[in-house]
Structure 1
Amino acid sequence: MLTRDLLVYRRVKGVRLRPTFIDPDDDDHIATAGALIELLTHGAGEPRGAIDEAADAICGEARKVKVARGLYKLLTDRCEWDDPGDTAMALRAAAFARSAAVLRDLSEESSLSDYLAAVAAGLPRPLADVRAHLYDDLAEHRRLLSAKLPTPAALLARYNLALAQGLVLYAGSLDLRAPSPGPLELRKLLRWLRFSRLVADVRRDGDGWHLRIEGPAAQLDMQKKYGLQLATFLGAVPVLGKFTVEADIDLPRQPRARLYLDHKDPLKALDDGPLGHIPPEIELGMASLGDARWTLDPMPELRHVGAAGMCVPDFALRDAATGKSVAVELFHRWHRHALLRRLDELAARPDPHFLVGVDLSLAKDEALAARLAAAPQVFTFNKFPTWKRLQPLLEPIGSLL
């Protein structure tokens, strides 16, 4: 994503934020993107300092330097650089210790060549080799190993999305309205919502849907992580044919402003695949769920909760004998308010085919822990639920199916 110094936006009447999107068909932008991609394509094995210097020259010649630097930032996010580990640090320690020892014992008549010869005699590698690799752990000396580079057109589209995501990083909540979305569009969007570890208040809005995603009114570190999750989710919103997005943005040392986005903006979804992106750690966790009786359904339907609410289960487990499902919704560390609302809804209207998973960090609150202990359909987990934790809860539910 783009850092704050690379964001380009404007304020409309002081209270409305709009990213300054670029034209992806602009010849100058296409040329700049192509030059930066070519630089990294042929940069394998080169130190980052040399690549950065060449990129600075390309960006300096661009019509819009800040845009060019943003493009380069997005490209370097897709690069893998070598990691020297502790080798350079150990080499420096050995070289400096040997140098200090030689200086202590060196006579006044000794020359520079005498000093260097004495130092070299106690080093684990030849002196020239030590000099060449003494600071390999500094960023500018790390060498490019590989890069997953897009086409110029894809990079420019990614830049426009990154402008919007960079602002959403500073949002505490987000309102999304989708008038009459297609079933596949909605399922893909809700799948991204869950895999971004977000909980939304989902309501019907005429023929469409309204999703309000609220953040934690808690510590700053949680707000930062939540902003990152919101920004990740925004990358899926353009799968909708029509949408509007609004969010209050609190940029550092600036007054609050309202961000407005819609389907007319040049935004393209991060993943156009049929099922959308699945984070590797979640895919691994899901692969361990299920047995001969229960099979995993990674894309369950929306589920009614309470009097008028809807929820987006993270997954469901389907009984092979009856074909009926048990929905599972997970609440992470920043979901305290959403969890309390869900517990109230289930207390008012119990759902025997619904399980609620709660991150262990939330259960540290004594009052909340007592309430969780009194709810038979609630379980706790660390990072992701295990089958060992879920199976005992499914047995009594299975007898009711």
Structure 2
Amino acid sequence: MLPTDLLIHRHRGEELTPIRLPINDSNLAIATNVIALFRQAQHQTQGELNRQLQELEGDSPNYRIKRGFAHLLKSAHCTFEILSPLEPEPLRQRVFSLAAQTTPSLQATPQILQQVAEKLSQELGRDVHPEQIRTGLYADLAENRMLTQFQEPTPESLLHRYNLAQVQGIFYRASHLILNVHRNDPGEYKLLFRYLKLFQLMAYIEGDADHGFTVTIDGPTSLFSPSTRYGLAIAKLIPALLHVTKWHLTATLQIKDAYTQRQRTPHFTLEPDADLVSHYPPGKPYDSMLEQSFAERWQALKTDWVLEREVDLIPIPGSVMIPDFRLVHPDGRSFLLEIVGYWRPEYLQKKFSQVRQSGCNHLILAISQRLNLEKAGVKLDNVPAHLIWFKDKLNPKEVLAAISP
């Protein structure tokens, strides 16, 4: 995503519109030039890369576009590493301790670097050269980190990512959002609600899969203390929403007018035909390594029970529950399984409240023993579910024992 100073928006009455770039030859040429600069800058420092980017910007009026492209490439396509024979901080301690034993001089510097290089060569079992010591001393500074990998995108995909980032930036200052999703495939609803869960967004959900859902989401400016992290979480939802077919989003924003310094409350609307392209995959098999590990271990069991990934939504007042798995037996018996792993107290309180409201008596809760439910204010009384406790990994045999007569 883009920082606030690289967002380009236009006010039209009570509407706020992000400026998006057309996919034309001119903009593709700019993207191509920026990508080529990054390709050539591999194995150079970030400081050198920044210097070349400044030269590319020059005094061009579209410098913010180039700077936006560069920001997206750095954050999503580049790997910057600290290259030093030893971690820079202990390396500095060695060099400075040795230097303190002699009178400071330009002539003494090569000797000190040579001594440290020889000592490290013996310790590490490989050749370390004085120049590596010199460059490694401050290799942990951002400008000295080395561009070691660059996953080159196409110019067109970079333009799409830029346009999406401009739209995402709208939601940094949202007070609340209303999302209407309707007449969609059930799998799309589940994907959307899983992303709501993943980003831990405060949402109130009404409706059902047959008639559609209305999702009201609190924005970052609705909090007692506006949170930049929460604003980013809202923005991260937008690429996921693009995988849903039919929806309409309205956001109310809180923005200070640059001239009058007064708060304004413009609106922003978004629909599927906005010509935006998501960089998120359309879905992933599992939400966590814990779920994936359980599913893989279940396959090794010899049992008639079938483990299913796609399950029905459980409507509850103001929300929905999406259990992780369904267990189905050929004789018609069925159980839902929810794995409660490592989450914050607020999430745990909400999760157990949902379980109570669901009234679902064929639900199994597998709870990690690492969770301090008492400290989180969670009580296990009146929970209409079978409870299973596990340590590091959930054992499928324990689940099978809980559902077998």
Short-chain TM bin: 0.7 to 0.9
Task: Return the match for 2:385 from 354, 363, 377.
Answer: 377
Q: Structure 1's 224 and 381: CA in aligned 2 closer, same or farther, altered over 3 A?
A: farther
Partner in structure 2 of residue 146 of structure 1: 149
State how far apart, in whole Å, the 2-side matches of 1:148 and 1:245 are: 33
State how far apart, in whole Å, the 1-side matches of 2:381 and 2:296 are: 26
State how far apart, in whole Å, the 2-side matches of 1:204 and 1:376 are: 22
Partner in structure 2 of residue 230 of structure 1: 234
Partner in structure 1 of residue 357 of structure 2: 345
Deviation of residue 345 (structure 1)? 2.3
Partner in structure 1 of residue 326 of structure 2: 317
* Residue identity opposite 1:6 in structure 2: L
Query: Sequence identity of aligned pairs in percent?
Result: 22
CA contact (8 A) 1:319 1:398 kept: no
* Residue identity opposite 1:328 in structure 2: E
Partner in structure 1 of residue 56 of structure 2: 58
CA contact (8 A) 2:367 2:389 kept: yes
Superposition map of 1:2-17 within 5 A:
2-13=2-13, 16-17=15-16
Superimposed CA distance per residue, residues 185-221 of structure 1 (whole angstroms, 9 cap, x where no aligned partner):
4444344444445575241499443223457987869
Superimposed CA distance per residue, residues 359-386 of structure 1 (whole angstroms, 9 cap, x where no aligned partner):
97783556x423x34425276999x994
Q: Structure 1's 345 and 265: CA in aligned 2 closer, same or farther, altered over 3 A?
A: same
Q: Structure 1's 96 and 161: CA in aligned 2 closer, same or farther, altered over 3 A?
A: same
Task: Return the match for 2:37 from 28, 31, 39.
Answer: 39
Task: Return the match for 1:269 from 274, 278, 293.
Answer: 278
* Residue identity opposite 2:101 in structure 1: A
Deviation of residue 177 (structure 1)? 1.2
Report SS of the residue matched to 1:268.
coil
Deviation of residue 33 (structure 1)? 1.0
Q: Structure 1's 314 and 204: CA in aligned 2 closer, same or farther, altered over 3 A?
A: closer
CA contact (8 A) 1:215 1:335 kept: no
State how far apart, in whole Å, the 2-side matches of 1:5 and 1:195 are: 28
Larger displacement relative to structure 2 (212-221 or 228-237): 212-221
Superposition RMSD in Å: 4.1
Deviation of residue 79 (structure 1)? 0.7
User: Aligned pair 1:49/2:47, yes or no?
Assistant: yes
Partner in structure 1 of residue 99 of structure 2: 99
Larger displacement relative to structure 2 (69-78 or 171-180): 171-180
Deviation of residue 352 (structure 1)? 1.0
State how far apart, in whole Å, the 1-side matches of 2:366 and 2:177 are: 23
Larger displacement relative to structure 2 (152-161 or 125-134): 125-134
Using structure 2 for the length normalisation, give the TM-score: 0.75
Deviation of residue 6 (structure 1)? 1.8
Deviation of residue 73 (structure 1)? 0.8
CA contact (8 A) 2:386 2:402 kept: no
Partner in structure 2 of residue 387 of structure 1: 394
State how far apart, in whole Å, the 1-side matches of 2:188 and 2:293 are: 25
Partner in structure 1 of residue 363 of structure 2: 354
State how far apart, in whole Å, the 2-side matches of 1:355 and 1:124 are: 60
State how far apart, in whole Å, the 2-side matches of 1:56 and 1:381 are: 57
Q: Structure 1's 204 and 140: CA in aligned 2 closer, same or farther, altered over 3 A?
A: same
State how far apart, in whole Å, the 2-side matches of 1:304 and 1:212 are: 16
Partner in structure 2 of residue 246 of structure 1: 250
Partner in structure 1 of residue 181 of structure 2: 178
Q: Structure 1's 84 and 61: CA in aligned 2 closer, same or farther, altered over 3 A?
A: same
Partner in structure 2 of residue 163 of structure 1: 166
User: Aligned pair 1:328/2:328, yes or no?
Assistant: no
Structure 2 unaligned regions, length at least 5: 119-128
Using structure 1 for the length normalisation, give the TM-score: 0.76
Q: Structure 1's 7 and 319: CA in aligned 2 closer, same or farther, altered over 3 A?
A: same
Deviation of residue 20 (structure 1)? 2.1
Q: Structure 1's 192 and 243: CA in aligned 2 closer, same or farther, altered over 3 A?
A: same
* Residue identity opposite 1:375 in structure 2: V
Deviation of residue 171 (structure 1)? 4.4
State how far apart, in whole Å, the 2-side matches of 1:71 and 1:278 are: 32
Report SS of the residue matched to 2:38.
helix
Deviation of residue 56 (structure 1)? 2.1
* Residue identity opposite 2:357 in structure 1: E
Deviation of residue 295 (structure 1)? 4.6
Superimposed CA distance per residue, residues 135-171 of structure 1 (whole angstroms, 9 cap, x where no aligned partner):
2221112111112222111111111212222333454
Deviation of residue 76 (structure 1)? 0.7
* Residue identity opposite 2:162 in structure 1: Y
Report SS of the residue matched to 1:260.
strand
Report SS of the residue matched to 1:387.
coil
Superposition map of 1:167-206 within 5 A:
167-171=170-174, 174-197=177-200, 200=203, 201-204=205-208
Structure 1 unaligned regions, length at least 5: none
Report SS of the residue matched to 1:265.
coil
State how far apart, in whole Å, the 1-side matches of 2:35 and 2:196 are: 31
State how far apart, in whole Å, the 2-side matches of 1:326 and 1:280 are: 17
CA contact (8 A) 1:10 1:18 kept: yes
CA contact (8 A) 2:352 2:378 kept: no
* Residue identity opposite 1:21 in structure 2: R
